[in-house]
Amino acid sequence: MERLDRLDLTTSMTSTPNTHPQHVLVVGGTGKTGRRVAERLERLGIDVRIGSRSARPSFGWNDPSTWAAAVDGIDAAYLSYYPDVSFPDAAAAVGAFARQAAAAGVRRLVLLSGRGEPEAEPAERSVQEAGVEWTVLRCAWFAQNFSEHFLLQPVLDGVIALPAGDITEPFLDVDDVADVAVAALTEGGHHGQVYELTGPRLLGFADIAAELSRATGRRIDYVSVTPEQYAAAAAAAGVPAEEIEPLTELFTRVLDGHNAYLTSDVQKVLGRPARDFADYARRTAAGGAWQPTGH
Ligand SMILES: NC(=O)c1ccc[n+]([C@@H]2O[C@H](COP(=O)([O-])OP(=O)(O)OC[C@H]3O[C@@H](n4cnc5c(N)ncnc54)[C@H](OP(=O)(O)O)[C@@H]3O)[C@@H](O)[C@H]2O)c1
């Protein structure tokens, strides 16, 4: 972001002068990545519209009647699909939305995707074939899953039980995702790029538990479970039945070790190394996200 803050938005930011996006739609703009993308764009003086069910006007992936208002007057859009870009319904919705956005004059799309997930590629292709400038961000596991998502409660409880064995993963800070997304939305040179974004270090879930223990000053353990045990625990914790199977299936195919390697794409785009999990853990602990609630 330091680099972006210094750029003169009115002149040399893109390869086509004076055509940098001024009005940007951030789909999922209240979520982990989208909220950070929106904040950064606003700091750059760009007009931001949030696309989500709670936004006004409301945007729903399942409600195409909301799409025209979302893209009206928009130059570029950040797309994060919910619940997961690799789920079977994603490609049809993302593709139909991308084509409608292109027809409405949107010139650039940046899609948040998953790394090492062939199931996400149909959604990626649908954006690549929409007839606009595009960038795909294939992301590793987010560090913020432990503070802003489904692993927050396990961290508070002191036990992270996942069907992940001793595989390692290059956990990625969503602040880096947002910095790369903003670069792709506002700078030239990112059209046609599929970036694979990883953190700077491979960590197993036991290493993660140790980092979280250090940062919080509390004991947090990792317990490797079978997919069946994970599904049973999720059901007992009240996760809706229709979400358990796709979630368990997602872990089984993503957490098998095939993503256990690093890339340098964060460095390539931002000119600085990716943020480390230990930095995330320290920052997040200091911000109070893991304070015990007392019940
Ligand atoms: N978690 C990971 O480790 C990871 C790694 C790689 C890729 N990804 C990808 O990240 C994407 C999720 O992005 P995220 O983590 O930034 O978001 P998130 O934190 O899960 O937040 C979801 C966002 O989508 C909105 N939303 C929910 N349901 C919606 C609907 N039906 N229609 C329109 N908007 C809806 C929410 O706002 P409202 O509630 O107001 O609608 C919110 O802004 C998924 O596609 C996933 O595949 C995740």
Distances (CA, A) of 195 to 6, 16, 180, 191, 254: 24, 22, 9, 11, 18
The answer to whether residue 89 scores a pLDDT higher than 50 is yes
Return the best residue to mutate from 35, 61, 78, 80 for the ligand 1 pocket (most ligand atoms within 8 A of CB): 80
| Average pLDDT of span 146-152 | 94
Q: Which residue has the tokens 């030239």?
A: 188
Contacts of 291 (CB under 8 A, 6+ apart): none
Atom number in ligand 1 closest to CA 149: 19
The answer to whether residue 199 scores a pLDDT higher than 50 is yes
Ligand 1 centroid, distance to 44 Cα (angstroms): 23
> Atom 24 in ligand 1: which residue has the minimum CA distance?
28
Ligand 1 centroid, distance to 101 Cα (angstroms): 19
Report the chain's terminal Cα–Cα distance, integer Å.
Answer: 39
pLDDT, tens digit, for every residue of 275-291? Answer: 999 999 999 999 999 99
**Per-residue confidence band for 16, with pLDDT thresholds at 50, 70 and 90:** very low
The answer to whether residue 233 scores a pLDDT higher than 70 is yes
What was the pLDDT predicted at 17?
Answer: 41
Find out whether the beta carbon of 277 lies less than 6 Å from any atom of ligand 1: no
The answer to whether residue 263 scores a pLDDT higher than 90 is yes
What was the pLDDT predicted at 294?
Answer: 57
Return the best residue to mutate from 52, 127, 141 for the ligand 1 pocket (most ligand atoms within 8 A of CB): 52
Strand 76-79 vs strand 108-114: parallel, antiparallel, or unpaired? Answer: parallel
Find out whether the beta carbon of 64 lies less than 6 Å from any atom of ligand 1: no
The answer to whether residue 19 scores a pLDDT higher than 90 is no
**Averaged confidence pLDDT in the chain:** 92
Find out whether the beta carbon of 61 lies less than 6 Å from any atom of ligand 1: yes
pLDDT, tens digit, for every residue of 23-61? Answer: 999 999 999 999 999 999 999 999 999 999 999 999 999
Ligand 1 centroid, distance to 144 Cα (angstroms): 13
Find out whether the beta carbon of 170 lies less than 6 Å from any atom of ligand 1: no
What was the pLDDT predicted at 249?
Answer: 84
Atom number in ligand 1 closest to CA 87: 47
| Average pLDDT of span 18-22 | 78
263 close to 116: Cβ distance less than 8 angstroms: no
**Per-residue confidence band for 113, with pLDDT thresholds at 50, 70 and 90:** very high
CA gyration radius for the chain? 19
Ligand 1 centroid, distance to 85 Cα (angstroms): 9
pTM: 0.93
**Per-residue confidence band for 7, with pLDDT thresholds at 50, 70 and 90:** very low
Ligand 1 centroid, distance to 83 Cα (angstroms): 6
Find out whether the beta carbon of 254 lies less than 6 Å from any atom of ligand 1: no
| Average pLDDT of span 243-258 | 85
Find out whether the beta carbon of 97 lies less than 6 Å from any atom of ligand 1: no
The answer to whether residue 137 scores a pLDDT higher than 80 is yes
Longest dimension (CA), the chain: 56
Find out whether the beta carbon of 31 lies less than 6 Å from any atom of ligand 1: yes
CA pair distance 111, 95, nearest whole angstrom: 11
The answer to whether residue 4 scores a pLDDT higher than 90 is no
Find out whether the beta carbon of 65 lies less than 6 Å from any atom of ligand 1: no
Ligand 1 centroid, distance to 10 Cα (angstroms): 31
How many CB atoms within 10 Å of residue 229?
15
> Atom 35 in ligand 1: which residue has the minimum CA distance?
52
